[in-house]
Amino acid sequence: MTVSFADALQAERSHSDSWWLALSQLRSDGQLPRWVDGLGTTGDLHLARELRLRFDIALRDQLALGKGRASDDAGRQMLVDLIETERTLYLRWWEALRRLRRQKSAPQWVMDQSLSRGPDWDRFDEKRSQVNMIMFGVTTVRGQSGEITR
């Protein structure tokens, strides 16, 4: 079965959204320790949405130019930078949940889920690799990024 790029990207983003939703629920319930906000997670949802939009626009522009898989160096680098910066936020969300779990400070409803466990990351990594393969022709692009910082 062949998966479209749009479906693969949506699967990756939906998976990471589950981490944000858990953190957001903890925050609204007053159960999120202060150190988590110290990681910079408070403004992440807005930043993630902005990065997603920038990536989607850049991708559309690349495809409109007939470049298909972002084959020119500048376009490819721009897409790598945008998607890897987006993924840096996802990693921060996963890591915050993992630390909550390890410190046994996560509520039971978080502990009962597969969120922030090794297999959860493995499933996300499969989705991330699939997006990379479709878009860039390789399974990992992390080392190729000149990540954008806030």
**Would you list the domain boundaries of the chain?**
5-134
pLDDT band at 54 (very low <50, low <70, confident <90, very high): confident
pTM of the predicted protein model:
0.81
CA 16, 14, 73 angle in degrees (round to 5)?
75
Closest CA to 89 of 39, 129, 24, 26: 39
Q: Could you tell me which residues come within 8 angstroms of residue 51 by beta carbon, excluding any fewer than 6 positions away?
A: 82, 85, 86, 89, 148
Distance CA 91, CA 109 (A): 21
- pLDDT tens, 72-86? 677 788 889 989 999
Amino acid at 131: V
In this predicted structure, the answer to whether residue 71 has a pLDDT above a threshold of 70 is no
- pLDDT tens, 13-32? 999 999 989 998 998 999 98
pLDDT on residue 16: 92
